[in-house]
């Protein structure tokens, strides 16, 4: 049984790496100044609950550029990116940006609410599950952040800590469209 779980994890990891590579190749081939958004893969829809128990879907954010970040409270790079997302959300929300954090913690919602309050997170935080992790390529490293276009296409994927300026470049490209 243990060997099977290890093999399953290896397979998921390889699939994840191939997916990331393909997303990278697509984003590079599109060019930064004029990406061909029609060739980008679609972002999987989801139904998750927010911290108040309300169901939220990707389609709720239709027409917006979305930063969709998978994170956890115990992850130092995730915590380091939170101020970036708070700042970007504040600066670009009125221009069509949505930031959505998907917590992969096994925390209870009360603990997660306390964390959100402590870190002054102003953007929506959803409670993730195995299905969304799998749907988005098998999230094996956090933070993993997807930049999603107004028509729900995956424009770029970042794995690991990313500087605010890199996210901002993507936002500016997509909000010009």
Whole-angstrom distance, CA of residue 138 vs CA of residue 8: 11
SS3 string of 10-72? Answer: HHHHHHHHHHHHHHHHHHHHHCCCCCCHHHCCECCCCEEEECCCCEEEHHHHCCCEEEEEEEC
- For 68-124, how does the pLDDT look when each residue is reduced to its tens digit (9 = 90+)? 999 999 999 999 999 999 999 999 999 999 999 999 997 688 889 999 999 999 999
Q: Is 78 a catalytic residue?
A: yes
What is the Cα gyration radius of the chain?
A: 16
pTM: 0.78
Distance CA 145, CA 69 (A): 4
Is residue 150 within 8 Å of residue 96, measured between CB atoms?
yes
Which among 78, 121, 148, 154 is annotated as catalytic? 78
More confident residue, 106 or 141: 141
| CATH classification of the domain holding 120 | 3.40.30.10
Number of domains in the chain: 1
The domain of 142 spans 2-176
The tens digit of pLDDT for each residue in 50-70 reads 999 999 999 999 999 999 999
């Amino acid at each position: 049984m243990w060997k099977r779980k290890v093999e399953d994890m290896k397979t998921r990891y390889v699939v994840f790496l191939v997916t990331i590579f393909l997303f990278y190749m697509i984003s590079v081939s599109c060019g930064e100044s004029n990406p061909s958004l029609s060739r980008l893969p679609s972002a999987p829809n989801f139904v998750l609950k927010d911290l108040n128990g309300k169901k939220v879907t990707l389609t709720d954010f239709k027409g917006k550029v979305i930063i969709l970040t998978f994170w956890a409270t115990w992850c130092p790079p995730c915590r380091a990116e939170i101020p970036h997302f708070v700042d970007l959300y504040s600066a670009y929300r009125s221009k069509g940006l949505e930031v959505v954090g998907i917590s992969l913690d096994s925390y209870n919602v009360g603990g997660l609410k306390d964390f959100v309050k402590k870190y002054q997170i102003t953007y929506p935080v959803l409670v993730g599950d195995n299905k969304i992790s799998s749907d988005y390529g098998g999230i094996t490293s956090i933070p993993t952040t997807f930049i999603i276009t107004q028509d729900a296409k995956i424009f770029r994927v970042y794995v690991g800590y990313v500087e605010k300026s890199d996210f901002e470049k993507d936002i500016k490209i997509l909000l010009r469209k």
